[in-house]
Amino acid sequence: MGGHAFRGLSCPRMSPEVYLKIREQTTNILRSLFAHVVVPTEMPEKPDYGDVDFLVSGFLLEPPDSPLNWQRMVSTTRDALNTPHGRQGHLNPDVMYFAIPHPNGEHWIQIDVKVCATPDEETFAWMQFQLLYASGLKMLGSLVKPLGLTISPAGLHIRVEEMESTNFPGSLVFVTMEPGDVLKILGLDRRFLRAGFDTVEEICEYFTGTWVFNPAHYAARLEEGKYRDHLEDRSGPWVAFVTEWLPQRYPGYRLPDQDIPLHEWRKQVRIAVREKVFTMFPHITPEYYAKRAAHLKEVEEQRLQQLLTVSIPVGQDGWSDSIPEPTVVVQDAAPATPPRKPTIQAQWDTAQARVNYVGMWRRRFEKEDAKRERERVEKEKAENEKVEKDKEGVEKVEVEVEARRAKILERLAAINGC
């Protein structure tokens, strides 16, 4: 997006008057082809526009449950827009790009149509939420990610902290796909959903008004080369927000009267975020702790397995029963006397003298293994009993909601220095 999809065409930035005219005309055309058509709210105070962005779903010329026929959808939309220029995106395959004639007849105007493949209203509303104000939600998503929350096309998730470093996808627990709930968790009103901003300054104030805001987060991100390169591709107002507005409002990217290091601040706020999510969505608490308990159990099993593996001696061939018996040499006290046939007692004594070292050590390790197994079973049983107690405690969550809410508010007030 941004007016650069057709390198061979002249697609200069357009005035607000031309933008509004083309947006209205194109909206009417797209509504004849798609069940849902919206224009995500643009950043305010824009002097000009590079393209016109749309979000659509439900191609009307195909059965609702059929897979998207991108070739037909692109060609049909291109014909409806009366233009020879239209294609599916390469780097963004869920976007259709078109170029329609400029009213002055000398240039072209780029039209970007993002397609929501799932036609249900919940998914469509969530995707629209992600595109509002030049994808401003990505700025909040970057802020809350170190606090245990993940905002993605699949919705808002809370992560099991003990799992995220080794199994990030497995650590996710779904919370909601309702935009209003996300704003409520962050302590923000619904102006973001209702196009309630007239100036960029208002949006900046709004984003820094969440109780999880800390300018030091963006200072840390700017030290990452990958983030700086990615930031350059963002909308101009968001680049200015991070590189100009924040350091002017918060010198040194620091909150006033807050000396706590960023990692300690994140650790404290992450606990408060988790408690607020559990208070608002108590039904996810059992899933969270069940997933956490299963992970800790697996980690403990792996630890025990490593201890057992290290305790077993390893040779070139491992364990073997074919170890040669030692040679026993019997020296006769009187060499001159001819050797006599050993008696039955002597044969028994000789057999007893031959020690089965392999069997002895094997039995010893088998006893140690059995002991460790009993300890593991007892520990597992204790952990399961703890999980059962945790589950019983979850049943009391709803009763204790009000008390916990007051506790959270006290913590938030302490964190923010109120």
Average pLDDT over every residue of 83-93: 94
Is position 102 within any domain? yes
Cβ-proximal residues to 37 (8 Å cutoff; 6+ apart), any chain: 27, 30, 31, 54, 55, 56
Q: Residue 353 has what pLDDT?
A: 47
Confirm if 216 and 223 have CB atoms less than 8 A apart: no
Q: Are residues 103 and 240 in the same domain?
A: no
The kind and range of the H/E element at 98 are: strand 95-101
Q: Give percent of the chain with pLDDT exceeding 90.
A: 61
Q: Is the pLDDT of residue 403 over 80?
A: no
Q: Is the pLDDT of residue 265 over 80?
A: yes
Q: Say yes or no: 152 and 266 in one domain.
A: yes
Are residues 190 and 93 part of one domain? Answer: no
Regarding whether 231 and 272 lie in a shared domain, the answer is yes
Region 341-354 average pLDDT: 53
Q: Which pLDDT belongs to residue 183? A: 97
207 and 106 in a single domain? The answer is no
Q: Is residue 299 part of a domain?
A: no
Asked whether residue 280 carries a pLDDT value surpassing 90, the answer given is: yes
- pLDDT above 60 (res 382): yes
Together in a domain, 189 and 98: no
Residues 113 and 22 in one domain: yes
The pLDDT value recorded for residue 387 is 72
Which of 267, 286, 305 is the last residue before a domain boundary? 286
Q: How many CA atoms lie within 13 A of 381 on its CB side?
A: 6
Pairwise CA distance, residues 247 & 219, whole Å: 9
Mean pLDDT of the chain: 86
Confidence category of residue 349, pLDDT binned at 50, 70, 90? low
Q: For residue range 166-177, list pLDDT tens digits in order.
A: 999 999 999 999
Please indicate, yes or no, if residue 180 is contained in any of the structural domains.
yes
| Identity at 69, one-letter amino acid code | N
Mean of pLDDT values over 174-185 = 97
- Please give the average per-residue pLDDT across 31-56, as a whole number: 95
Note the pLDDT of residue 94.
95
| pLDDT for the residue numbered 224 | 87
pLDDT of residue 244: 95
Claim to verify: residue 103 and residue 174 sit in the same structural domain: no
72 and 138 both lie in a single domain: no
What is the pLDDT, as a whole number, of residue 320? 56
Give a yes or no: residue 327 inside a domain: no
| pLDDT band (50, 70, 90) for residue 64 | confident
CA distance 182 to 132: 14
Q: How many domains does the chain have?
A: 2
Whether 293 is in a domain gets the answer no
pLDDT of residue 1: 46
Backbone φ and ψ for 417, nearest 5 degrees, come out as: 75, 20
pLDDT of residue 209: 95
Residue 128 has which token pair? 């629209």
For the ranges 137-146, 259-268, 336-345, the lowest mean pLDDT is seen at 336-345
Same domain, yes or no, for 142 and 113? no
On whether both 207 and 267 belong to a single domain, the answer is yes
Reported as a pLDDT band with limits 50, 70 and 90, residue 336 is low
Contact 295, 162 (CB under 8 A): yes
Q: Which long-range contacts (CB under 8 A, 24 or more apart) does 258-265 make?
A: 258/417, 262/214, 262/216, 262/217, 262/220, 265/214, 265/216, 265/415
CA distance 241 to 247: 9
Domain stops at, among 59, 93, 119: 119
Is 104 contained in some domain? yes
Which of 12-16, 181-185, 346-350 is predicted least confidently? Answer: 346-350
Q: Are residues 35 and 151 in the same domain?
A: no
Note if the pTM is more than 0.75: no
Residue 333 covered by a domain: no
pLDDT > 50? residue 101:
yes
- The values of phi and psi at residue 241, to 5°, are -60, -45
Domain around 267: 133-286
Confidence band of 372 (pLDDT split at 50, 70, 90): confident
What are the tens digits of pLDDT across the range 300-320? 998 888 888 777 766 555 555
- 61: domain CATH number? 3.30.460.10
Asked if residue 176 belongs to a domain, the reply is yes
Long-range contacts of 229-235 (CB under 8 A, 24+ apart): 234/134, 234/135, 234/138, 235/43, 235/134, 235/135
